[in-house]
Amino acid sequence: MNINNNKVKLMQVSAFLIKNHGYRFVSMKQNEDEMWLANEFNAEMPVIRLSTTSSQSIFFDKVRLLKYQQSINQVIKREGRLMDIHLVDETVLEDDEEIEVVILNSKNILGLNISNSFPNIKNSIYPFSDADEEYNVIVRDLEQYQNDRIKQKRKMKKKLKINATFIISIICVVIHLLVLYLGAKFGDQIAASIVLGAYYKSIIVIQNEFYRFFTSGFIHIGLSHLLMNLLSFYYVGNMCEEIFGHKKFLFILFSSIISGSVLTYLLSENIIAVGLSGGLYGIMGAFFVYAYTKGLYQNKAFRSQLIYIVFMNLLLSTLPGIGIYAHLGGLVCGIMCGFIFNDYEPWAKLRKHTMIAAGFLVGILFVKSYQVNDVFPIYYGTDEKVAQILSYYNLDDYANRVKNDALEFYIEYGDFE
């Protein structure tokens, strides 16, 4: 194999960017004197061309370079100027309005100081005695690096992930066991779920227990309801937690649970509602936004996964007693969070407008929630059962308030004798 020194330089810098900054080779018809790299997670420099030609060659090759850049940008769903790095020993830089031109060698960097983004990049170009041998060493090193990454990903998949998704799933299981225990002890799972924090419009209106908008998301009645929710949540949750990170993931999940409960509170009659499905639809909505900006719909394997996710959630919606308003509220909240947390550059204005709209929406829903006083139909027998369970555990003051305040409210505002 006959490898020249310029080819080795290209491999040296490529290896540095791949191993230290997450870039990958772009497979396309290339010249011997250039290499193309891409990183969809780097908003500043998503596409880089490395070249061993003079920077003055751009004048003659600009149309081709911009066409290649546009093709890559469409695949990785990124915008921005092309970073064109020339690995040559020149002292004069040929500037361009559409392409960010940089001259890089072991001594100098002319143009944009990319060492701020890629520390020690100058050291990636180092002397060697045998071009063929050095090239083979770099190729073997990159192959080993890729193999190690694949093995690491496989090990991660085999390990049980103790993350937020796992912990929340365990919490839901534990609370469900408590519902079963109290339900069996007192003969009423509905009342037991209310004691543990289920959404019950009557008690929210009368006692102002708005915390139930949140706690209801972790309660399930019926084994099929629990299993269906957790199966979908574990599948989508793990994926979204990895994409958005723990904090953003939890924000999307919790705000979607609350949004679904609030919409149910404003638009539904007096019902008891439980389940994680509002939050599940929320993280699903945020994931759809992410998938669109990353162009994942073009991937056949992803489309298969997407069909599975949609099918599972449609199946959930067919279960008896499922609140469509909780799903709708969670989905809208999740989509808005997807816009807000997305770093897709063309959506900068949309992201800002979504944040403003979300602020107004929260304010409106907050005011509207305090104006609700419709608690029909009336389930006073359920209130008495809740009070009975509370009294059994020596929560007499709370039990009396639940029973007596409900009776007074029903007499004053309802058709109750």
pLDDT tens by residue, 154-176: 776 655 567 899 999 999 999 99
The average pLDDT across 72-101 equals 86
Q: Is pLDDT of 415 > 60? A: no
Is 321's pLDDT higher than 60? Answer: no
C-alpha–C-alpha distance, residues 98 and 354, integer Å: 31
Whether pLDDT at 278 is above 80: yes
Q: Six-digit token pair at 121?
A: 């990049």
Predicted local distance difference test score (pLDDT) of residue 311: 74
pLDDT at 41 over 90: no
The confidence band for 318, taking pLDDT boundaries of 50, 70 and 90, is low
Task: Identify which has the larger pLDDT, 417 or 39.
Answer: 39
Please tell me the predicted confidence (pLDDT) of residue 313.
67
Collect all residues with Cβ–Cβ distance below 8 Å to 284 and sequence separation of at least 6: 236, 309, 313, 331, 334
Give the residue-averaged pLDDT of 178-196: 96
Residues 6+ apart with CB under 8 A from 91: 108, 110
Calpha distance 117→213 (Å, rounded): 44
pLDDT confidence bin for 24, thresholds 50/70/90: very high
Residue with token string 């199966």:
231
Mean pLDDT of 312-330: 73
Average pLDDT over residues 343-364: 91
Residue 46 token pair:
């998503």
pLDDT-derived band at 87, boundaries 50, 70, 90: very high
Least confident range from 65-69, 261-265, 305-309, 360-364: namely: 305-309
Residue 249 phi/psi, 5-degree rounding, is -60, -45
CA distance 140 to 124: 17
pLDDT of residue 98: 87
* Mean pLDDT for the stretch of residues 375-395: 94
Better-predicted residue by pLDDT, 320 or 353: 353
CA dist., res. 11 & res. 18, Å (int): 10
Which pLDDT value is given to residue 75?
87
Looking at residue 201, its pLDDT comes to: 95
pLDDT of 101 strictly over 80: yes
Residue 277 tokens, joined: 């499905």
Of residues 243 and 93, more confidence is placed in 243
The mean per-residue pLDDT over the stretch 310-324 comes to 65
Grouping H, G, I as helix, E, B as strand and the rest as coil, residue 84 is strand
Residue 172: count other Cβ atoms within 10 Å of its Cβ.
20
Q: Let me know if domain 160-410 sits in CATH 2.40.128.110.
A: no
Judge whether residue 298 has pLDDT over 90.
no
Q: What is residue 360's predicted lDDT score, i.e. its pLDDT?
A: 95
Evaluate if residue 1 carries a pLDDT over 60.
no
For residue 269, how many C-alpha atoms fall within 13 Å in the half-sphere facing its CB? 4
pLDDT value at residue 222: 86
141 pLDDT band, cuts 50/70/90, is very high
Residue 68: beta bridge partners? Answer: none
Which of 41-45, 321-325, 412-416 tops mean pLDDT? 41-45
Task: Determine what percent of the chain is predicted with pLDDT higher than 90.
Answer: 62
Q: Which residue has the higher pLDDT, 412 or 260?
A: 260
Give me the mean pLDDT over the 169-193 stretch. 96
**CB count in 10 Å sphere of residue 29:** 5
pTM (whole model) above 0.85: no
Q: Which residue has the tokens 């004798």?
A: 417
Q: What would the mean pLDDT of 331-345 be, rounded to a whole number?
A: 92
Both tokens of residue 295? 């162009």
How many other C-beta atoms are found inside a 10 Å radius of the C-beta of residue 283?
Answer: 30
Residue 315: the pLDDT is 66
Average pLDDT of the residues in 114-140:
91
> In this predicted structure, what is the pLDDT of residue 159?
58
Q: Is the model's pLDDT at 181 over the cut of 60?
A: yes
Whole-number average pLDDT of the chain: 88
Coil, helix or strand at residue 417: coil
Q: Are 90 and 103 in contact (CB under 8 A)?
A: yes
Query: What's residue 319's pLDDT?
Result: 57
